[in-house]
Structure 1
Amino acid sequence: MEKVIMKEVKRQGELALPLILANFLIFTIQLMSVISVGHINHEKLAGASMAISIVNAIGFSVLMGVSSALDTLCGQSFGAKQHNMVGLHMQRAMIIIVLVSIPLAIILAFSGRILVLLDQDPDISMAAQTYIHYMIPSLFAYGLLQCIFKFLQAQNIVLPIMLSSGITALFHGVSCWTFTYKTSLGYRGAAVSVSAAYWFNLVLLMIYVGLSPLCKETWSGFSKEAFNGLIGFLKLGIPSTFMVCLQNWQFELLLILSGLLANPKLQTSLMSISQNISSLVYTIPIGVSAAVSTRVSNELGAENPRAAKLAILTAASTVITEGLIVGLAMIAGRNIWGHAYSNETQVVNAIASMMPWIALSHCIDGLQCVLLGTIRGCGRQKIGAFVCLCSYYMVGIPASILIGFVFNKKVKGLWIGNICAIVVQNVVLLVITVFTNWEEQVSSLLRICLFIRLKLNLNRDFFY
């Protein structure tokens, strides 16, 4: 048994470590841009920070949600050795991603006016809109990039993701400095560099998929069969989108609420930076989440329910240990973090007072991340979406408003409300996972795979 556990630890480590590093490197793209703006113009920092939050909420979250259906579809297809289906699923996701990106881009183009209607500071809102205009091209690249990530991840091909992310981070460092400091674009140049970085990364991975012998069985070029089954893909893609968006939108609501507090420029910057720091350390559990999602979907596809359960237990143990270590390190260095974002003493001190709460949320957030990864691996996104809805919007947001406004704890109170939501979500997801019949999950998967095969054959006969 010990050998089996160590083998699973090794498998997850080989998946998670490159993905953690890749997620961190991708995150630094937006991080470097925000830092650049903060050191150019403190007044524009709030606008740029809000802009990135809005793009993440309205744009990237939706696209990530759509592509998350591939965690289930590609992972289980690869585990069941239906290699041709892995590529077809990715192509369907890409078609939907492009179609969805068009209305999202239109909405983002008018985001500043929407923020003003939500009673946000007009100067911050219009600065955010200007920044967003230069980030709109990144929408299409980001969505397609997520599809390729999921496609490779399902096949346990993760080193190319890490390497391309590293090369892109270097490219972005140079382009961000050039566009921001050496052109007349100023803070807008930071947004231009973000868009350029995502397209650069997309091109790198497209070349890899087209040329790599490792993708030979799963990728044979674009096929008109990808246009069949789009509705079927959406049956999983829509709940996947809601599951991701409901979680991320809650953070954007907190950002909007912070803009309603006294001294909105300081409070908005503090909330945005707190979320930024949280997202930075969140790259660790999200890498483990991706690994467990892949392992669970692969093992269910291969009809190994016991191996799927072992993968979940291993991942949960990993993130709990990681959360304690990283959380304590964040508290120990609480007076250092603020200097990376601003030279203003008031901002630095405010961030230091927030760090214990950010650390606490990170300690408990890892388990939730793994449990949601398990949900994706099983294809139970409808359940995940419902749990996110109840925990964040029936518990988290009301608690944030109560503690932040009524008890006058400001941004700290808003964050404590978020912690309450995570606790509720952890408890519910843990109960669902413990009482899941994994043998029944395999049986359900076999029925779904059979249905997809029959449906594709019928569509192919009709098409021809």
Structure 2
Amino acid sequence: MDSTSTTTATPTATTPLLQPAPHGGGGSRELEAILADASLPWARRALRGAAVELPLLLRIALPAVAVYMINYVMSMSTQIFCGQLGNLELAAVSLGNTGIQVFAYGLMLGMGSAVETLCGQAYGANKPGMLGVYLQRSMVLLTATGVPLAVAYAFSERILVLLGESESIARAAAVFVYGLIPQIFAYAANFPIQKFLQAQSIVAPSAYISVATLALHLALSWLAVDRLGMGLLGGALVLSLSWWIIVLAQFGYIVSSPRCRETWKGFTAQAFRGLGGFFKLSAASAVMLCLETWYFQILVLIAGLLKNPELSLDSLSICMTVNGWVFMISVGFNAAASVRVSNELGAGNPRAAAFSVLVVTSLSLAVAAVCAVVVLCVRDQLSYFFTGGEAVARAVSDLCPLLAVTLVLNGVQPVLSGVAVGCGWQAFVAYVNVGCYYIIGVPLGVFLGFYLDLGAKGVWSGMVIGGTMMQTLILLWVTCRTDWNKEVEKARVRLDKWEDKKQPLLED
């Protein structure tokens, strides 16, 4: 992706457009026409455009936020149930959830984002038959990826000890991780299914399924952990079961719903063809998102090496849990941004794509700012939702200003990543993430945390300033300089390649 060669932020009214897709795709002809009307001042066009864009955006974003929030609440509720067993169990679940499980989550979610790019652009171009094949190809690749991940889970205790974690915490965390092995393969099916449905703006059914599953999950978790005394392993097994319930229910919807009749034609041998080209995009998507999700995983692992690791892990994991909860809101907007941008590019609407970016970024930032203010208002009471102890409460309160800054940044960064997925920029963003996060952010965090003896606060502040903030600024700069007409051309070439060769390839 040669994004640095682009020059215009928004196409002008005189820019020639590609022929829009036939009616029935995911693009908005009305929005494109409003934005192209040079007889109106930009402010009037923006207001009219917002009136069209906001319903399209919220129809995707609100159910997507609900889905990601509820899925995250399932993991968080498991952490709360297990955390009530004691501080060691809380530290173990935090390390297992954030230090090990997030590894698989990031990898699977990243690889599943290939479906998001290709299905979104194909649906926008009114080529529904391509979506089902993309879904199946992704599930094949992700299931194969799950096998070595399961082996790594089996050796999680040794891995954590080798990384320098204390033996008692590593042993307890491994028990929890063993119960999450079935969850790996639920991820392998869930993320492609989610992206397949989101590309068609079908999000509400997933939200209803998640709500029902959450209620069942809470009941089963209470039964397994509190009543049956199954401890960490029981909590993890219930979490895995809940994810499989979501997968089976969503797949049942795809097979039975008339809304998916054109996009799901049943299982096909084409799912095993062209896997090499599909793997290239999946790998680029995985690297991009894994570098982001693993970044905060590394933060937790580093915290386990600080003085008083149990207190550092407890306080930091609580903040990371809150951050992850609010982050799920931004991930919902990420999904909406990806769908709207990819649909408009596939439909040949460059102005609408650019305008969608502006609207979704502004809305996500506003929501994140409100959440940051709430966190600052309840900073002294925040830790008591998770565990008792005044020492943990003081440590969490001290970290809350930094948590608020992180929330605001995360109101923008995930949305811009969604734009990147919608455009197919995954490889470029992966390079940005390597530089910002791992060449600058991690070393700066280690320097502040260990050499200046600032502890968890130093590690986190260094990684936020050196990594997240710099990456967000770079993505903003690139997005503002994007030539959306060129992105429309690239989307058309990408889909034409698939039709000619039956392979979903992206240009290098």
TM bucket, shorter chain: over 0.9
Question: 428, 445, 462: which one pairs with 1:417?
Answer: 462
Q: Does 1:120 align with 2:190?
A: no
Cα distance, 1:187 vs structure 2 = 2.5
Q: Does 1:170 align with 2:218?
A: no
Equivalent position SS for 2:84: helix
Question: 272, 281, 294: which one pairs with 2:317?
Answer: 272
5 Å matches for 1:59-458?
A: 59-420=104-465, 421-456=467-502
Alpha-carbon distance between aligned partners in 2 of 1:321 and 1:53, rounded to the nearest angstrom: 27
Alpha-carbon distance between aligned partners in 1 of 2:216 and 2:401, rounded to the nearest angstrom: 34
**What is the Cα-based RMSD across aligned positions, in Å?**
1.3
Cα distance, 1:39 vs structure 2 = 0.8
Alpha-carbon distance between aligned partners in 1 of 2:163 and 2:357, rounded to the nearest angstrom: 41
Cα distance, 1:121 vs structure 2 = 0.5
The answer on whether the counterparts of 1:62 and 1:245 sit within 8 Å (CA) in structure 2 is yes
Q: Which residue of 2 aligns with 1:40?
A: 85
Alpha-carbon distance between aligned partners in 1 of 2:65 and 2:186, rounded to the nearest angstrom: 21
Alpha-carbon distance between aligned partners in 2 of 1:93 and 1:369, rounded to the nearest angstrom: 22
Alpha-carbon distance between aligned partners in 2 of 1:256 and 1:308, rounded to the nearest angstrom: 39
Cα distance, 1:57 vs structure 2 = 3.2
Alpha-carbon distance between aligned partners in 2 of 1:77 and 1:258, rounded to the nearest angstrom: 44
- Which letter maps to 2:488? V
Q: Which runs of 5+ in 2 are unaligned?
A: 1-44
Q: Does 1:26 align with 2:71?
A: yes
Give CA deviations for 1:416-447 in whole Å, capped at 9, x if unaligned.
11221111011111111111111111111211
Equivalent position SS for 1:218: coil
Equivalent position SS for 1:40: coil
The answer on whether the counterparts of 1:295 and 1:311 sit within 8 Å (CA) in structure 2 is yes
Give the TM-score, by structure 2 length: 0.88
Alpha-carbon distance between aligned partners in 2 of 1:94 and 1:324, rounded to the nearest angstrom: 36
Pair 1:41–1:284, CA change in 2 (3 A): same
Cα distance, 1:220 vs structure 2 = 1.5
- Which letter maps to 2:483? N
Alpha-carbon distance between aligned partners in 2 of 1:417 and 1:265, rounded to the nearest angstrom: 21
- Which letter maps to 2:143? V
Equivalent position SS for 2:411: helix
Alpha-carbon distance between aligned partners in 1 of 2:382 and 2:238, rounded to the nearest angstrom: 24
Q: What is the aligned-residue identity percentage?
A: 33
The answer on whether the counterparts of 2:153 and 2:178 sit within 8 Å (CA) in structure 1 is yes
Cα distance, 1:14 vs structure 2 = 1.3
Q: Which residue of 1 aligns with 2:37?
A: none
- Which letter maps to 1:213? P
- Which letter maps to 1:275? M
Cα distance, 1:385 vs structure 2 = 0.6
Question: 60, 67, 73: which one pairs with 1:15?
Answer: 60
How many pairs are equivalent?
458
Q: Which structure would you say has the larger RCO, counting Cα contacts within 8 Å and 6 or more residues apart?
A: 2
The answer on whether the counterparts of 1:179 and 1:192 sit within 8 Å (CA) in structure 2 is no
Alpha-carbon distance between aligned partners in 1 of 2:199 and 2:101, rounded to the nearest angstrom: 24
The answer on whether the counterparts of 1:111 and 1:129 sit within 8 Å (CA) in structure 2 is yes
Alpha-carbon distance between aligned partners in 1 of 2:294 and 2:309, rounded to the nearest angstrom: 20
Cα distance, 1:21 vs structure 2 = 1.2
The answer on whether the counterparts of 1:73 and 1:89 sit within 8 Å (CA) in structure 2 is yes
Cα distance, 1:405 vs structure 2 = 1.2
Alpha-carbon distance between aligned partners in 1 of 2:404 and 2:432, rounded to the nearest angstrom: 23
- Which letter maps to 2:433? C
Q: Which residue of 2 aligns with 1:462?
A: none
Cα distance, 1:457 vs structure 2 = 8.6
- Which letter maps to 1:416? S
The answer on whether the counterparts of 1:40 and 1:187 sit within 8 Å (CA) in structure 2 is no
Cα distance, 1:55 vs structure 2 = 3.3
Alpha-carbon distance between aligned partners in 2 of 1:434 and 1:171, rounded to the nearest angstrom: 45
Cα distance, 1:67 vs structure 2 = 0.2
Cα distance, 1:352 vs structure 2 = 1.6
Alpha-carbon distance between aligned partners in 2 of 1:142 and 1:95, rounded to the nearest angstrom: 12
Structure 1 runs (4+) greater than 6 angstroms displaced = none
- Which letter maps to 2:470? V
Cα distance, 1:102 vs structure 2 = 0.5
- Which letter maps to 2:480? V
Alpha-carbon distance between aligned partners in 2 of 1:429 and 1:58, rounded to the nearest angstrom: 24
Equivalent position SS for 2:502: helix
Alpha-carbon distance between aligned partners in 2 of 1:91 and 1:291, rounded to the nearest angstrom: 22
The answer on whether the counterparts of 1:328 and 1:359 sit within 8 Å (CA) in structure 2 is yes
Cα distance, 1:286 vs structure 2 = 1.1
Alpha-carbon distance between aligned partners in 1 of 2:380 and 2:328, rounded to the nearest angstrom: 22
Alpha-carbon distance between aligned partners in 2 of 1:336 and 1:352, rounded to the nearest angstrom: 8
Alpha-carbon distance between aligned partners in 2 of 1:175 and 1:148, rounded to the nearest angstrom: 25
- Which letter maps to 1:432? V
- Which letter maps to 1:415? W
More helix by share: 1
Alpha-carbon distance between aligned partners in 1 of 2:421 and 2:50, rounded to the nearest angstrom: 22
Give the TM-score, by structure 1 length: 0.97
- Which letter maps to 1:451? K
